[in-house]
A and B are shown apart, each in its own frame.
Chain A
Amino acid sequence: MAEPTPAHTRPRDAALGSGAGRVLLLVYGIFAVSAGARAGVQIATKFSEAPLAFLLSAFAALVYLAATIGLAVGGPRGRLIALTSCSIELVGVLVVGTLSVLDQEAFPDATVWSRFGSGYGYVPLVLPLIGLWWLWRNRPGRP
């Protein structure tokens, strides 16, 4: 996980460069892997049952992966990637969570974001907020 990048080439806001950031990356990484593996199995074995839910799972996995990488590398590009993906996560978990509560027919099979991530201990709901908080706390121009 921790690439042996020389410290002087790493942006100051790279999450890899601090202990708290490494914990954040660990949790993001766990979600990228678990959502990705789940989507992979679902798409490979029973795609026709609920294509929308499974594609959504795969999309969520990609977003988690992008957020992990963006937070890890930092710098202007990393911040942009992380900001975009954390925002998509937050919107996704709120929209999909609301829809899955209102219209259970549309989401017969669970995704990471169904019911606001209750199947994952509501971590999917909290994680983008922590990511955005991290970006805000390490915003450029802050001493």
Chain B
Amino acid sequence: MNGPLSTATIVVALLLGIWYLIRSALNRAPSNTDLWAMLGLSALVAVLVVVAVVGLIGGDRPGETTTFIGYLITTVAFAPVGFYLARLEPTRWGTLILGVACLVLPVLVLRLQQIAEATGG
């Protein structure tokens, strides 16, 4: 859970989030590129979660397994939900939705890391 993949996800999400905030401040609706970028981030997060699930099946269980799984489900669903809501709102506010989603994702990944670390696993 604490490998380069997590770090990459956090960095990409933060950069994208800042990009969306700027775009929203400039009164831009989400462009096709913006939406594709969000799908790309969703894919990256999905890979991260799959790796974590494989770890869980392989016996790498953190202390609070239930909480960990709850966070995994939330994390994997977050970017796609942001994408879907942004599609519904083709204004600057749709771009801000993407930005908010991108800024919450690093928090979720950090929490996953904390829970995974709690047992040293």
List residues of B whose CB falls within 8 A of some A CB.
Answer: 64, 66-67, 70, 74, 85, 88-89, 91-94, 96-97, 100, 104, 107
Contact = CB atoms under 8 A, between A and B. Distances in A.
B88 A26 contact: no
Nearest to A120: B107
Interface of B is mostly: helix
B120 to A, nearest CB: 20
B104 A30 contact: yes
Nearest to A27: B100
A37 B93 contact: no
A130 interface: no
A102 interface: no
Interface residues of A, number: 14
A45 B96 CA distance: 36
Given A22-B97, A45-B66, 8 more contacts: A19-B89, A19-B92, A19-B93, A23-B96, A26-B100, A30-B100, A37-B70, A45-B64
19 contacts: A1-B85, A2-B85, A2-B88, A19-B89, A19-B91, A19-B92, A19-B93, A19-B94, A22-B85, A22-B89, A23-B97, A26-B97, A26-B100, A27-B100, A30-B104, A37-B70, A41-B64, A41-B66, A41-B67
A121 B17 CA distance: 16
Contacts of B93: 18-20, 22-23
A26 B85 contact: yes
Contacts of A37: 70, 74
Interface in A40-71: 41, 45
Nearest to A33: B74
Nearest to A20: B93
A18 B91 CA distance: 10
Contacts of B88: 2
